[in-house]
Chain A
């Protein structure tokens, strides 16, 4: 066995990301690693590439236990990684990026640019990668960027190549080109660990598949002996159960209608409905939300609120129209960490407490406190910095901020991320209450269970497109995962 992993465990504060995983793979094999969001694929990959250090367990390459404590050591042990978020340096040329950290030197220790560019050309030619070695990386397309990463991995003579969702950004011919390269590398005896959740690809190029779920290894199987449905079942972890989803919302009037100008599928949210949005990481859920509120260009769609075209040009515009977005990235895009709970809550609605340009703090505090009480926020005072609260209470304050704007449409992106179980329940309850009061709710989540528990209807996104739109009662987790992985016929 070229690569053996024994009892590998990675613990982050509060999370057991990977739990005692055993795994082995041999040279000349394409080994797919699959799992739903949060299954531990990325953690495993980062442990192998030296980005994280394991809490426990062993990594054995070619019979020798290795400590991959830095990315540099991992590379020198023969493990190269092509990351999903690219790791090239934009200001440098293709060749400089390929040889980053291993710049070719002459005997005197002086860099040889001539040799570097010639070597880069040779690698690009050998694998038929169509790239100009002298081009600046910042001028490349995303697909070409990936080729740079692959060329870098190939230039180190690695024996293990980790590809993380490599086709996410590629067009069909580019994908075929990638598969051809993978085939070539396999013939040369390289082990390719292929992280993906696209079933078609896994079945077309992998020899074996390892399924992870909740940080544990479920099984390793020969790809030829198994069907996509079996893998999906292993990813979900239980037999298909009939969901107990909410009944369909009373078919109220449509509040929010979205259609695409290029005839792709759009969607409608009716009054009082909770519309769940499912999809794997990178399927374009957050992107869709950002377009709906005008953070990203939305010229390619028509957004109708109460039958009138609105197409917000900015988040401010969206809030004024009554479309409010709750970010998935609370820390980065949501909180004003050093401001008080109250200030965080009232931030989007300050004009309500302003007269002649002066803030009427009494009114602000009264309104803020009222809404936070309604949300059962627990804090010693609304004047403490929000960063001192728990995740659940922070999220409640952010909810409070959204509610202060009196939304007609509330888009919540992963509203229960990093929130404890009790607060989760309260958030679901709140969504249901708001829906009953007539707010149209779009509920984006990676947790299938909560979507089934709290949504009337589900949209499933796959590669930016809506591929499924059905009442929750007519869906199963399996069906959603099939749609999300592009294996639904």
Chain B
């Protein structure tokens, strides 16, 4: 790895550099890319996934995984839209419902994880299925309508900056603070790094894991509000596939699936790498099937770059 470019790309901040390079080349080679309108679009489209992926980063740092967030997001979209029926007066109720449902399901995941000792991959996959069932028992078509405030949260701007991005920054700063500046955060890293060691150090590992799942659930609540606002209605399939995109972004961002290390900034950068790439391909009018293919390539290449040790070993 003597090449300075590859060595920067494979460093801890590789994904941020990759994002910078992608944006730089997009500005040069794709004229429509740099318009305010287009940039705003990318931001608005990427924000929900970024917020969801922040929650996923927390669970993965804790050595867990949460597959249920996609369907949880879908359920929140449906219920929030149904509660509001387009009335501004119900906005606050819908927000509370979204956060309560998100945090509540997260807590149930955490408690079941401790109680049943099933691998979280299986446990949360089960929860995914349960939530999907609930959505379709509730409705098989779009229901309700979001309030104007919800639409504004998802699409509006403050001094030219999309509100969704402000929300994303707020969530990112808050969660980074929790991870790095509180005991709970330190314990999340510790439990992911070595659960038995953490237990021996007197950390209540079960409680730490419940909190990690609660963060993940809450992130689905916040992301769900943005998705609902963009769709304008309670579309039952709104959450399909979100969980995998979130996990991909977390891993791309340099967080170890084995737990114990990871970064919020890396996760967000990874979400935007994927968002920008897909936007460029759209602008170049490349078919969406090719886009899926390219997304796969980006994921594999970025992960190879991010794991220099593995390349050297082979």
- Binary flags per residue of B151-180, CB closer than 8 Å to A gives 1, else 0: 000000000000000000000000000001
CB under 8 Å from chain A, chain B span 190-238 = 190, 192-194, 196-204
29 A-B residue pairings within 8 Å (CB atoms): A70-B199, A72-B202, A72-B204, A73-B202, A75-B201, A87-B194, A87-B197, A87-B200, A87-B201, A88-B197, A89-B194, A89-B260, A90-B193, A90-B194, A91-B261, A92-B193, A96-B186, A96-B190, A100-B190, A100-B201, A101-B187, A101-B203, A102-B201, A103-B186, A109-B183, A110-B182, A111-B180, A111-B181, A111-B185
Given A71, A83, A91, which contacts B193 in the complex, CB threshold below 8 Å?
Answer: A91
A100-B197, A111-B185 known; 12 new pairs, CB 8 Å cut-off, are: A49-B200, A70-B199, A72-B204, A87-B194, A87-B197, A92-B190, A92-B260, A100-B203, A101-B203, A102-B201, A105-B183, A111-B182
Residue B190 contacts which of A89, A110, A152 (CB distance < 8 angstroms)? A89
Give A72 to B186 CA distance when docked, in angstroms.
Answer: 16
**A70 to B200 Cα, complex, angstroms:** 8
If over half of A's interface residues share one DSSP class (helix, strand or loop), that class is named, otherwise mixed; here it is: loop
> From residue B63, how far is it (CB to closest CB) to chain A in Å?
11
Q: Which of chain A's residues 240-273 have a Cβ closer than 8 Å to chain B?
A: none
Q: Which residues of B contact A (CB under 8 A)?
A: 180-183, 185-187, 189-190, 192-194, 196-204, 256, 260-261
B-facing residues in A37-74 (Cβ within 8 Å): 49, 51, 70-73
A103 to B208, alpha carbons, bound, how many Å? 15
7 residue pairs, one from A and one from B, having the closest CB atoms: A72-B202, A89-B193, A101-B201, A91-B260, A100-B201, A101-B202, A87-B197
By size class, the interface of chain A is: 20 to 34
Q: Which residues of A contact B180 (CB under 8 A)?
A: 111
Whether the Cβ atoms of A92 and B189 lie closer than 8 Å is yes
Bound together, the chains give a CA A21 to CA B194 distance in angstroms of 33
Q: Which residues of A contact B200 (CB under 8 A)?
A: 49, 51, 71, 81, 83, 87
A81 vs B197: C-alpha distance when bound (angstroms): 12
**Residues on the B chain within 8 Å of A299, using CB:** none
Q: Does A76 contact B (CB under 8 A)?
A: yes
Are B202's CB and A75's CB within 8 A?
yes
Q: Are A76 and B202 in contact (CB under 8 A)?
A: yes
B199 proximity list for chain A (CB < 8 A):
70-71
Closest to A71 in B: B200
A49 to B199, CA, bound (A): 12
Query: When the two chains form the complex, which single residue of A83, A91, A102 contacts B202, counting CB atoms closer than 8 Å?
Result: A102
State the CA gap A352–B187 with chains docked (Å). Answer: 53
Chain A nearest Cβ from B7, distance in angstroms: 19
CB distance from A281 to the nearest CB of B (A): 20
The residues of B that contact A90 with a CB separation of less than 8 Å are 193-194, 260
Q: How far does the alpha carbon of A89 sit from the alpha carbon of B198 in the complex, in Å? A: 8
Give A113 Cβ to nearest chain B Cβ, in Å: 8
Q: List, in ascending order, chain B residues with CB within 8 A of A81's CB.
A: 200
> Which has the most chain B C-beta neighbours within 10 Å: A49, A76, A100?
A100
Which residue in A71, A73, A91, A105 is a CB contact (below 8 Å) of B201?
A: A71
**How many angstroms from the CA of A367 to the CA of B199 in the assembled complex?**
49
Report Cα–Cα, A68/B187, bound state, in Å.
Answer: 22
Query: Which residues of B are found within 8 Å of A100, using beta-carbon distances?
Result: 190, 197-198, 201, 203
- With A and B bound together, what is the CA distance between A347 and B30 in angstroms? 60
Closest B residue to A90 by beta carbon equals B193
On chain A, the residues within 8 Å of B185 by CB distance are 111
**A109 x B182 contact (CB < 8 A):** yes
Closest to A49 in B: B200
User: Which positions 77-104 of chain A face chain B at CB distance < 8 Å?
Assistant: 81, 83, 87-92, 96, 100-103
Smallest CB gap from A156: residue in B: B202
Contact between chains at A70 and B202 (CB < 8 Å): yes
Task: Report A-chain residues with C-beta under 8 Å of the C-beta of B256.
Answer: 91
Closest CB in chain A relative to B255 CB, distance in Å: 11
A72→B190 contact, CB < 8 A: no
Bound-state Cα–Cα, A4 to B185, Å: 38
Instruction: A87 to B201: give the CA distance in the assembly, Å.
Output: 8
Chain B residues whose CB sits within 8 angstroms of the CB of A49 once the complex forms: 200
In whole angstroms, what is the CA distance A417 to B196 when docked? 26
Give complex CA distance A91, B190 in Å.
8
A90 and B197 CA atoms in complex are apart in Å by 10
Chain A residues contacting B189 (CB-CB under 8 Å) are: 89, 91-92, 96
Could you tell me the distance between the alpha carbons of A154 and B261 in the complex, rounded to whole angstroms?
Answer: 27
B27 to chain A, nearest CB (A): 37
What is the chain B residue whose CB lies nearest that of A88?
B197
Is the CB–CB distance between B198 and A101 below 8 Å?
Answer: yes
Q: Nearest Cβ in chain B — how far from A273, in angstroms? A: 41
CB closest residue in chain B, given A70 = B202
The smallest C-beta distance from A482 to any residue of chain B, in angstroms, reads 35
| B202 and chain A: residue at smallest CB distance | A72
Q: A90 to B259: give the CA distance in the assembly, Å.
A: 11
Q: Which residues of A contact B197 (CB under 8 A)?
A: 87-89, 100
Q: What separation, in Å, do the CA atoms of A181 and B42 have in the docked complex?
A: 60
Bound complex: CA A105 to CA B197 (Å): 21
Once the chains are docked, how many angstroms separate the CA of A90 from the CA of B260? 9
User: What does the 1/0 interface line of A107-138 toward B look like (CB < 8 Å)?
Assistant: 00111000000000000000000000000000
Task: Find out whether the CB atom of B183 lies under 8 angstroms from the CB atom of A111.
Answer: yes
Q: How far is the CA of A55 from the CA of B13 in the complex (A)?
A: 52
Closest to A74 in B: B202
Q: How far is the CA of A457 from the CA of B126 in the complex (A)?
A: 58
Query: Which among B186, B193, B261 is the interface contact of A111 at CB below 8 angstroms?
Result: B186
Complex CA distance for A435 and B51, rounded to whole angstroms: 68
In the complex, residue of chain B having the shortest beta-carbon distance to the beta carbon of A89: B193
Alpha-carbon distance between A103 and B199 when the two chains are bound, in angstroms: 15
The CA-CA distance from A50 to B256 in the complex, in Å, is 31
User: Complex formed: what's the CA distance from A96 to B197 in Å?
Assistant: 13
**A72 close to B203 (CB less than 8 A):** yes
B199–chain A nearest beta-carbon distance, Å: 6
Of listed B180, B181, B187, residue having the most chain A CB within 10 A = B181
How many whole Å from A253's CB to the nearest CB in chain B?
A: 43
User: With A and B bound together, what is the CA distance between A334 and B182 in angstroms?
Assistant: 44
| Cα(A176)–Cα(B202), bound, Å | 30
Q: How far is the CB of B202 from chain A (nearest CB, A)?
A: 3
Task: State A96–B185 Cα separation when bound (angstroms).
Answer: 12
Q: Which residues of A contact B261 (CB under 8 A)?
A: 91
| B202 and A110 contacting across the interface, CB-CB below 8 Å | no
Is there contact, CB below 8 Å, between B198 and A103?
Answer: no
Q: Which residues on B sit within 8 Å (CB–CB) of A103? A: 183, 186
